[in-house]
Amino acid sequence: MTGFEHGVPTDLPTEEQKSYRSHAEVLDMLGLPQTPEDEGLRSTPVTADEDSVVGARVREARSRARLSGSALGEKVGLARDQISKIENGRRRLNGVEAPAFARALGVTLGWLLGQDESPRMALAHRLSRGANGEEAAPDGLPATQTRALTVLEADRILSGIVPVPPARVSTAGRKLMTEAKAELPTHPHDRAHAQREGRELALKVRRELELGSDEIGDLPALIEANFGVDVVLSPMGTAVDGLCAHSGDQALIIASTDFTEEHVRFTLAHELGHHIAGDPRDLIAEDNAQMFSSDSIERRVNAFAAHLLMPVVGVKQVLADSGLTPDELAAGGFRAQRVLGRLMQRFNVSLAALLVQLEEMRELTHDDVNRLRGELQVTRVEPSMARRRLSRSIPPVGAPLTESACGVVRPPERLLNAALDAARDRRTGTRILAALLEREDDEALHNEVMAVADEAGAREAANPARPSRPRRRANRG
């Protein structure tokens, strides 16, 4: 029989005795009985529904944070079996434990205890914490998370001033996401499964969206039009390549544009793979090493990105039209470099990404790829001037990325349009617009916006059939 001393099982290991003692002290503080069966925290018929909701949310948040039951137990000072009982609704959280669980899981206490929370609020709370869900000072957050919080705050403010349309989900996009979440396992079984799942998902996206076998010209606009995602591009350094954050109906994909255009496009496609596949984590922030790690999930979304950007049919067509033999391609001579450059130009990808895809297609061996990556410095053949159009002006929005992609700022199109409407109708100043565009030249921005508004007003005055909007004094503060 187990012995007890002051309510502590004496035959437990020392560390478990410490955890149990701390728990017993909490029970004593709350005036609850201290028994071997932990009767005071057992779920009862009266509390069963509430305990079930809390337990389900603990399990959901733990899954999103990719924590095992033991790991969560270590964070909150409970054994794994206690975590299991809580998640299954057989054990209650007391008043001291609940805040500890919320902190450990990176969620609000209200959400954990079953209160409804807007997706925007839930996502903002998660983004305000570190990558591992721990509390973090604002100046200690990665630039991608800080930028995401700015966008969410702009969304919140604008929604109280003007009608802001929700992020769009097309019929095809909803079908793709629903099927992917139902069919794809959380973790692929191995590398082969990961590669196949990513490839098949990309083929489905191309087929459902009728993309054919050519380059996706405006990838940010395609994502926003189909998958309920706000896309944000901004120069945020090279410490983090990109971020995918999603909670309920709120989703953000962010990419740092302190990389080449091709790098940014691959990052966007990679993060889109996380979103479509229903990655249970609410925040995925990655640098280049994490994106290309041996993790099976990362392998799957990398395969997705490669096949989305470089469809096999299109690549094979260019190779066939070139008349290049497999040996010539592997040798990497002048003709091979011309063909590689043409492929990079057609699909707007980097040499590194193209070589990986050629290996996946078995056009090159792994050794060929490693050798060519070190030997070749292939650039595009006759780069398109159309890619140089994107600037910091208002608009264009959703235009192709610039040739270098360095310094490009692109806020979500729906928010930019709402901010422009609010400013031109003189319902707000230009501060929200400036925050979205990351512009500090407030006077010039104000003049640009008002010039467009005045032109629109003149057109309305010349056409009485069209009702004019009421004009208010501009608030530039």
What digits encode the pLDDT tens for the residues 81-121?
A: 899 999 998 888 877 788 788 888 877 777 787 776 777 87
CB-CB contact of 451 with 423 (8 Å): no
Q: Which two tokens stand for residue 83?
A: 């975590």
State the architecture of 4-117 in CATH terms: Orthogonal Bundle (1.10)
Tell me how far apart the alpha carbons of residues 261 and 406 are, in angstroms, rounded to a whole number. 8
CB-CB contact of 242 with 256 (8 Å): yes
Residue whose C-alpha is closest to residue 353's, from 317, 398, 392, 306: 306
> Helix crossing, 351-360 with 296-309: angle to 10°?
100
When pLDDT is cut at 50, 70 and 90, the band that residue 423 belongs to is: confident
Tell me how far apart the alpha carbons of residues 3 and 6 are, in angstroms, rounded to a whole number. 10
Q: Does the pLDDT value for residue 266 go beyond 80?
A: yes
Tell me how far apart the alpha carbons of residues 334 and 337 are, in angstroms, rounded to a whole number. 5
Tell me how far apart the alpha carbons of residues 80 and 70 are, in angstroms, rounded to a whole number. 5
Tell me how far apart the alpha carbons of residues 413 and 191 are, in angstroms, rounded to a whole number. 37
What DSSP letter does each residue of 371-391 carry, written as one string?
Answer: HHHHH-----SS--GGGG---
Q: Does the pLDDT value for residue 418 go beyond 90?
A: yes
Q: What is the pLDDT of residues 174-189, one digit of tens each?
A: 999 999 999 999 889 8
Strand partners, 247: 250
Contacts of 447 (CB under 8 A, 6+ apart): none
CB-CB contact of 102 with 109 (8 Å): yes
Query: Could you state, in order of their start, the residue ranges of all structural domains in the chain?
Result: 4-117, 312-375
Q: Bigger pLDDT: 419 or 114?
A: 419
When pLDDT is cut at 50, 70 and 90, the band that residue 10 belongs to is: very low
When pLDDT is cut at 50, 70 and 90, the band that residue 232 belongs to is: very high
Q: How far apart are the first and last CA of the chain?
A: 74
- Determine the pLDDT at residue 227: 97
